[in-house]
Structure 1
Amino acid sequence: MTEHSSLFISHGAPALLVEDSPARRYLSGVGKQIGSPRAILVISAHHYSHGNSVAVTSSATPETIYDFSGFPEPLYEIAYPAPGDPELASQVVDRLNKAGFTASADASRGFDHGAWVPLHLMYPDADIPVVQVSINMQMSPRWHYDLGLALAPLRQEGILIIGSGGATHNLREFFKGGYHLDAESPEWVTTFADWLSDRIGVGDVSGVLDAVESGPDGHKNHPTMDHILPLFVAMGAGGEQAKGRRIHKSSTYGVLAMDAYAFSER
């Protein structure tokens, strides 16, 4: 992993921040490995736009959004007061519009937990500016990959691009119960996660983009597309000739693969 890589991280459940796990320990150290970027651009599974649009957060002082319920009370007392970066947001909007997207700035939106929970572990001082870019559930995997390609040049300007979602994400199975924090993953989770890693490792962009349709138990691992779409953006943000590799492998609650990937042309 280099400072010029784009990343995909699996953020799992919000309790990642307060429950010990291999993923928590990994994320707590990865910021030191990367170093301090000029700013961070996060594509979160919990930030949606509609139509064919892209929304870019532009507040100078974004609030911490507690977009979850039923989790440990201490989570609701944690804030992530990182500054926004209106100038970077404007640059991102311009870049995306020139690339053929319909992008606009949103000064009213703060950081959802797909952004602030992992960033709290990676950069706990909250002193690096953060801007979020939305996913769009109405648009295709290829559209999201192209979105990443449009953002890729920002890596050379000291911007760390992070897609935050989940390598697997079946909440119905998660909420069924019976899966404790350290539960062993069922075969349908591990088989899909390893297949995805293999496709990423050989640079099979089309295969990765078609993972939910054609991968083993793709629909079971991703009944909805929200948590895999940030992966496609991160893959594109690595550049057209990027190679990807799995830089972390673990799971929480059995059904949530917490894998992380780095994408780089180097």
Structure 2
Amino acid sequence: MKKMPVFFAGHGSPMIALERNELTRTFNEIGKKVMDAFGRPRAILSLSAHWYTRGSHVESSPSPRQIYDMYGFPKELYEVKYEPKGFRPLTERVLSLLPFADVNDDWGIDHGSWTVLTHMFPDASIPVVQLSIDGKISPKASYEIGKALSPLREEGYLIFGSGNIVHNLYKVEWENKGGSPAADRFDAYITDAVSRRDDEKVIHYEDHDDAAYAAPTADHFLPLLYTLGASEGEAPFVFNRVRNLGSISMTGYAFGLSLSKGGN
């Protein structure tokens, strides 16, 4: 069995679930490339910024509910259905790799997961299990959790992190189709470090002068550290390298997978 890739995707506005543009076409291309090059994953372990908890929790439900954890959007967004099955063997394997984790089925498949996966794997036929992002541990500890999860890749499981390199809803510039100078600087700094696999620099992202602007809370940044740990030493394919609304970065990284076009 081939070693499955690892992804980190910038998910941005939930409206991306309805959009058909270069960003979503790249998501779709990634999904097709996975199926062509690796075959169907047994299941996807999703690390969404929107399940941000105290402690590490993993789902076990055979039919996790789809969560519309966003407000004030058009009716059409709440009609999007993405309802994959759960996969208990993956849940059990995560618990064996993370003995400090526990089962929690109070959550489900939130928009950090389904707005991207609906483009990557549109038919929802691949089971999805979410693992929460632990908000009480250090960035280094988040990276170490990713390392602990890396054996899953040898077992047919795809690891998928969803968040944003830059995510500051307080500084959104509604008329800006690109990024602010601070967003551009921070995104370039992190992408350069990820590309060179200077993981320590990414782990210590708060040392950057623009970190307080780019990541005023850690929830959307930490999924990147989980995916870096799970892909230690592997060079990324950088995709969707754009900023929008001033303070949102859509930049993503694929580890263990190369694409012929799109994204940069």
| TM-score normalized by the length of structure 2 | 0.90
Residue 165 of structure 2 contacts residue 221 of structure 2 at CA under 8 Å; is this kept in 1?
yes
Distance 1:11 1:265, change over 3 A: closer
1:71-110 map, 5 Å: 71-97=73-99, 102-110=100-108
Counterpart amino acid of residue 185 in structure 2:
T
- Name the residue aligned to 1:13: 13
Counterpart amino acid of residue 253 in structure 2:
Y
Distance 1:30 1:152, change over 3 A: same
Are 2:221 and 1:228 aligned? yes
Counterpart amino acid of residue 6 in structure 1:
V
1:5-154 map, 5 Å: 5-35=5-35, 36-50=40-54, 53-97=55-99, 102-154=100-152
CA RMSD of aligned residues (A): 1.9
Deviations 1:234-266 (A, max 9, x none): 000113x33334233123323211011123499
Distance 1:245 1:210, change over 3 A: farther
1:186-205 map, 5 Å: 186-205=180-199
1:169 to 167, 170, 188: 167
**What is the percent sequence identity of the aligned residues?**
36
Q: Following the alignment from structure 1 to structure 2, what is the Cα–Cα distance between the partners of residues 18 and 3? A: 31
| Structure 2 unpaired stretches of 5+ | 259-264
Residue 243 of structure 1 contacts residue 265 of structure 1 at CA under 8 Å; is this kept in 2?
no
Residue 22 of structure 1 contacts residue 250 of structure 1 at CA under 8 Å; is this kept in 2?
no
Q: Following the alignment from structure 1 to structure 2, what is the Cα–Cα distance between the partners of residues 108 and 87? A: 19
Matched position secondary structure for 1:43: strand
| Structure 1 unpaired stretches of 5+ | none
Q: Following the alignment from structure 1 to structure 2, what is the Cα–Cα distance between the partners of residues 3 and 76? A: 35
2:235 to 218, 243, 250: 243
Q: Following the alignment from structure 1 to structure 2, what is the Cα–Cα distance between the partners of residues 220 and 58? A: 36
Are 2:246 and 1:257 aligned? no
Q: How much has 1:26 moved relative to structure 2? A: 1.3
Counterpart amino acid of residue 210 in structure 1:
H
Q: Following the alignment from structure 1 to structure 2, what is the Cα–Cα distance between the partners of residues 129 and 151? A: 17
Q: Which moved more, 1:149-158 or 1:215-224?
A: 215-224
Q: Following the alignment from structure 2 to structure 1, what is the Cα–Cα distance between the partners of residues 14 and 22? A: 15
Matched position secondary structure for 1:46: coil
Q: How much has 1:9 moved relative to structure 2? A: 0.5
Residue 242 of structure 1 contacts residue 265 of structure 1 at CA under 8 Å; is this kept in 2?
no
